[in-house]
Amino acid sequence: MRDSEKIRNIAFVGHGNSGKTSLISAILFATGKTNRLLKVDQGNTITDFDPEEIERKITLSASVAFTDWEKYRINLIDTPGFPNFFWDTEASLSAVDGAIVLLDGGAGVEVQTEKAWEIIEKNGLPRILAVNKLDKENSDFFNSMNSIRESFGRKAVPIHIPIGKEGNFTGIIDLVKGEAYIYEKDGSGKFKEEEIPGDLKDSYEKYRNELIEMVAESDEELMEKYLEDSMNEEDFAAGLKKAISSSEIYPVASVSALSNIGIHNLLQAIVDYFPSPEERGSIKMDEMEVKPVSSEPFSGLVFKTISDPFAGRISLMRVFSGKLSPDSSVVNSTRGTEERISNIFYLMGKEQVSAEEAVAGEIIATAKLKNTLTGDTLCSKDRSVKFPFPLPHEPTISFAIEPRTKKDEDKISNALRRLQEEDPTFKAERDPETKELILSGNGQLHIEVLVSKLKREYGVEVTLKTPKIPYRETIKGTADVQGKYKKQTGGRGQYGDVKIKMEPMKGEKEFEFVDKIFGGAIPKNFIPSVEKGIQEARKKGVIAGYPAVNFRVILYDGSFHPVDSSDIAFQIAASMAFKKGAKMAKPTLLEPIMNVEILVPEEYMGDIMGNLNGRRGKILGMETKGKKAVIKAYVPMAEMLTFEPDLTSITGGRGTYSMKFDHYDEVPTQLQEKIIEEARSEGRIPSEEEE
């Protein structure tokens, strides 16, 4: 049975292209899990195995690998660094005990680094910053340190400093052990321990003293020893681990994943400084406490679901307490159902490695759970717990999708359902008004990946289109009209005659029908038919084929024929009256207005407000939230369809927004003709010649 003390669960996070996948590849090579250094450019890495990831050369979905080093089991989670897929990163951070935060040595702290840092802070996770790509042109460890401290403060201190720069980066100096490690240039990861180079001794002394001071500051007892000059190496090492575990220090390491430099030292830092699951301590929820030990009742969190068209549903789980064995029964406390665990296994990318038992602290997988999805808690029947889990991000961009063939149409619902099991951040809904199938996601790239997966994994091809806007029509004036329908066909005829008044109406009611017939001008049994005729006619309006709302119809007179009048005749007469009256009563178009809330760094506030003004937005107010500004505005839905890429471009990906429908408002006159012309081209209303 595995010892929980010897487990380390680590998520690798950072901005896109900072080298997370490459670093995990280097770790797997250094620990003998692969016989060569696998590379993203060659499409053969363990954790980027999806065809879409291989083609695009970026991580699109979190994946798990593991390795064993010096009797430690290290579970490695490779997370996406692009904003469209960031929720997967957030979900993964719920399952680990520490994070490696990667930075590109030539770029410093970037947008997604900051966003990942916020979640790490929220989860109270220890972290090590790893400055990667130090062998590349324009990379600079010390410039990166300046960027790190500017963003995260003076708690960030080096534990390694590089030997050499750019193409001459050949090794690192370990500030804790006081040793230099020179690596072979062939990428083998082999190294020699040597004395600290003479030209770096001053830098070594400077940064080591800085590290010692920070460790001393983190603990009163150590500070006393430091001031008395009695803090020994053992005190220093123990104090450093405690300070890192409690996030009093953010250690900064130096690596090059592709040149395989610094990997051994980073591995040593992982096992030395990151806490085991037991050292992380109990999880407190309301009045309940879950101790991360194997003697407790079982509890675990499903932090990711992989939906494979052939293998079925695979659930990745962090075991927080107790043990889990194959052929056992557990409770899904999130959904109130029971599940049978048929098998458990470790994942090495897409490869499954069978497991006989999982103990507290392990990350394992199981297949074909019936009701369990991402975010669900599984636990023993003896104790019901429910772990917190981040809600999926709300979609920011939408497209209408059309299956290309009847065959695609038949398969699309099941395919989308299967994809949603794996990725709950997108929505696929049929718009009841436009009848379009709307696919909403977290950005253009997210939608493109979903469409590609539909085709590759489920054989469903679709076309993307801009969604139709659910406009409305209304009237601004009044009308008094007659609608008479009279038809004689030789036998029994059809006769219906109504007189109505139409007037605008404010309030939440879309339509009101008022019966003011006196003296039996229209028999009571035909009155509902008059209302039905107007209701049916208003569904398609009179100027652009959109539903008419916010008006009142008063039925005040009419006539009937004792033989020829019928329900259908009065429905047709009422429809004729509505169309005639609506055209006379100054009809106009209404558009949906969204209540938008945008969160951006303060320096972009003016640019975003200018962008919103260009979208016919109405600024409602602004407030500050830390170093960020919250802008609230009303913006037409039609103008928000293209906002996401603009926001990303203006803020460099640092801005986020949410929106919800608020009300309808009149479309400016100059835009109405364009909408009406589009309606004619779509066949929603007759052409001018047909009218």
247 three-state secondary structure: coil
Tell me the two tokens of residue 248.
């009093």
pLDDT digit string (tens) for 38-72?
999 999 999 999 999 999 999 999 999 999 999 99
- H or E stretch at 302: strand 299-308
Do the first three CATH levels of 397-465 and 590-672 match, i.e. the same topology? yes
Band of the pLDDT at 658, cuts 50, 70, 90? confident
Higher pLDDT pick, 503 / 311: 503
Q: Could you tell me which of 76, 73, 5, 98 has the C-alpha nearest to residue 355?
A: 73
On the 0-12 / 13-18 / 19+ scale of CB atoms within 10 A, 520 is: exposed
Segment 365-385 mean pLDDT: 94
Segment 13-33 mean pLDDT: 96
Distance of CA 314 to the CA centre of its chain: 20
Q: How far is the C-alpha of 610 from the C-alpha of 616, rounded, in Å? A: 10
Segment 379-391 mean pLDDT: 93
Choice among 22-31, 123-132, 393-402, 549-558 with the minimum mean pLDDT: 393-402
Band of the pLDDT at 687, cuts 50, 70, 90? low
Which stretches does DSSP call E strand in 86-237?
A: 98-104, 127-132, 156-158, 160-163, 171-174, 179-183, 191-194
Please check whether residue 655 is in contact with residue 608, taking contact to mean a CB–CB distance below 8 angstroms. yes
Tell me the two tokens of residue 629.
């500004």
Q: What is the pLDDT of residue 393?
A: 85
What percentage of the chain carries pLDDT values higher than 70? 99
Q: Could you tell me which of 8, 248, 236, 216 has the C-alpha nearest to residue 124?
A: 248
Sign of CA dihedral 595, 598, 604, 605: positive
DSSP class of 395: P
Q: What is the pLDDT of residue 288?
A: 85
pLDDT at residue 394 greater than cutoff 90: no
pLDDT at residue 101 greater than cutoff 90: yes
Q: What is the pLDDT of residue 1?
A: 55
Q: What is the pLDDT of residue 285?
A: 82
Q: What is the pLDDT of residue 107?
A: 92
Q: What is the pLDDT of residue 688?
A: 56
Locus of tokens 């178009």: 589
Q: Among 2.40.110.10, 3.30.230.10, 3.40.50.2300, 3.40.50.9100, what is the CATH number of 472-585?
A: 3.30.230.10
Tell me the two tokens of residue 510.
């879309």
Q: How far is the C-alpha of 362 from the C-alpha of 96, rounded, in Å? A: 10
Q: How far is the C-alpha of 350 from the C-alpha of 352, rounded, in Å? A: 7
Helices (H), 310-464: 406-422, 444-458
pLDDT at residue 277 greater than cutoff 60: yes
- Domain segments of the chain as ranges: 4-280, 290-379, 397-465, 472-585, 590-672
Q: How far is the C-alpha of 100 from the C-alpha of 116, rounded, in Å? A: 10
Q: What is the pLDDT of residue 474?
A: 96
- For domain 290-379, the CATH class is mainly beta
Q: What is the pLDDT of residue 410?
A: 86
Segment 326-341 mean pLDDT: 95
Segment 650-661 mean pLDDT: 87
- For domain 590-672, the CATH class is alpha beta
Segment 31-37 mean pLDDT: 95
pLDDT at residue 151 greater than cutoff 70: yes
Tell me the two tokens of residue 228.
């008395």
Band of the pLDDT at 153, cuts 50, 70, 90? very high
Instruction: Please give the backbone phi and psi of residue 459, each rounded to the nearest 5 degrees, phi first.
Output: 65, 30
Taking all residues of the chain, what is their mean pLDDT, rounded to a whole number?
A: 93
Q: What is the pLDDT of residue 471?
A: 93
pLDDT at residue 119 greater than cutoff 80: yes
Q: What is the pLDDT of residue 512?
A: 95
Please check whether residue 510 is in contact with residue 526, taking contact to mean a CB–CB distance below 8 angstroms. no
Segment 110-120 mean pLDDT: 92
Segment 588-601 mean pLDDT: 94
Segment 425-445 mean pLDDT: 90
Q: What is the pLDDT of residue 492?
A: 78
Q: What is the pLDDT of residue 3?
A: 84
Report the first-to-last Cα separation within the chain, whole angstroms: 82
What single string gives the DSSP state of each residue in 469-491? P--EEEESS-EEEEEEEEE--SS
pLDDT at residue 586 greater than cutoff 80: yes
CATH number of the domain at 4-280, please? 3.40.50.300
pLDDT digit string (tens) for 595-646?
999 999 889 999 999 999 999 999 999 998 777 899 999 999 999 988 988 9
Helices (H), 153-232: 201-217, 220-227
Q: How far is the C-alpha of 615 from the C-alpha of 609, rounded, in Å? A: 10
CATH number of the domain at 397-465, please? 3.30.70.870
